[in-house]
Structure 1
Amino acid sequence: MKIENRLLPAVLVVEDETLIRMDVVDIIEDAGFTAYEAGSADAAIELMERHDNIKILFTDIEMPGSMDGLKLAAYVRDRWPPVAILIVSGAVGMRESALPQGSSFVSKPYVTSHITETLHEIATQLK
């Protein structure tokens, strides 16, 4: 079930690999969402503080810097509890107990349609 594009929440994409991040931003924008992008957890937190329309965090796990994607997700869950979290990684066998409560996990490589469907489902739940 899709919602009208003007009602879709903004998504923050956090990925340290520039080309992957650009591709994900294109996928998200093509699906009708507004996308912000960050190459690190620190940059992501700055964007979260500046843009209150960000309602979905899309983050990779493995990133350089002060925290990885799991720590970023936990930080966002604590500081901005209503924000939905979608964690992606090439790591196999990710335990649900390792994820912040209420987050979703998608393994890489992922299919574009799966990402867009998942984001639309999340957006519907946020309504």
Structure 2
Amino acid sequence: MANDAVFVLLVEDDGLIRMSLVEDMEHAGFQVFEAANADEALKLLAAHPEIQALFTDIDMPGSIDGLKLAGLVRQARPDVAILLTSGYLKIPKNDLPGKTPFFSKPYEVDRVVDQIRELTARKHGKVCFTT
């Protein structure tokens, strides 16, 4: 079963939201790495090639925001599924890298989990059935 685990990098500057979401994602069966900003996320991505999905907030402190992080990850690791979220920003679809899913806060965690499963299965040639 461990071979089928999905490795997710969660980037969220709000510690309470991050802690809650990590718990929800682990409960859904994901292996979760967490970062408080894009700078930490880039280090984790470099150190952990097993990461298959990135779920990042857009508006956060650090040298770059989540949108720029998504663009860098899209270029450097096109195999990584990317999902974006924000409670403050509304992003035009044309500004999103590729066909990146966007979730406005507050979002339903089950929808995020289902989207991660679908995207990682598609990128790795697996069939995924969601309920």
Q: Which runs of 5+ in 1 are unaligned?
A: none
Relative contact order higher in (CA < 8 Å, ≥ 6 apart): 1
For this pair of structures, how many residues does the alignment match? 124
How large is the RMSD of aligned CA atoms in angstroms? 1.5
> Out of 20, 41, 45, which is 1:23 matched to?
20
Paired residue for 2:83?
86
Contact 1:15 1:63 in 2 (8 A): yes
Q: Shift in Å at residue 102 of structure 1?
A: 3.0
Task: State the TM-score, normalizing by the size of structure 2.
Answer: 0.88
Q: Give, in angstroms, the shift of residue 61 of structure 1.
A: 0.4
Does the CA-based 8 Å contact 1:59-1:87 persist in structure 2?
A: yes
What residue identity is the alignment partner of 1:120? Answer: R
> Percent same amino acid among aligned pairs?
44
Residue 106 (structure 2) pairs with residue 126 (structure 1):
no
Q: Secondary structure at the match of 1:47?
A: helix
CA deviations on 1:13-66 (whole Å, 9 max, x unpaired) are 000110111111111111111000000111000000000110100000000110
Contact 2:59 2:88 survives alignment (8 Å): no
Structure 2: give runs of 5+ residues left out of the alignment: 125-131
Matched-pair contact (CA < 8 Å) for 2:86–2:105: yes
* Residue of structure 2 aligned with 1:54, choices 44, 51, 68: 51
Equivalent position to 2:42, from 24, 45, 49: 45
SS for the counterpart of 1:110 is coil
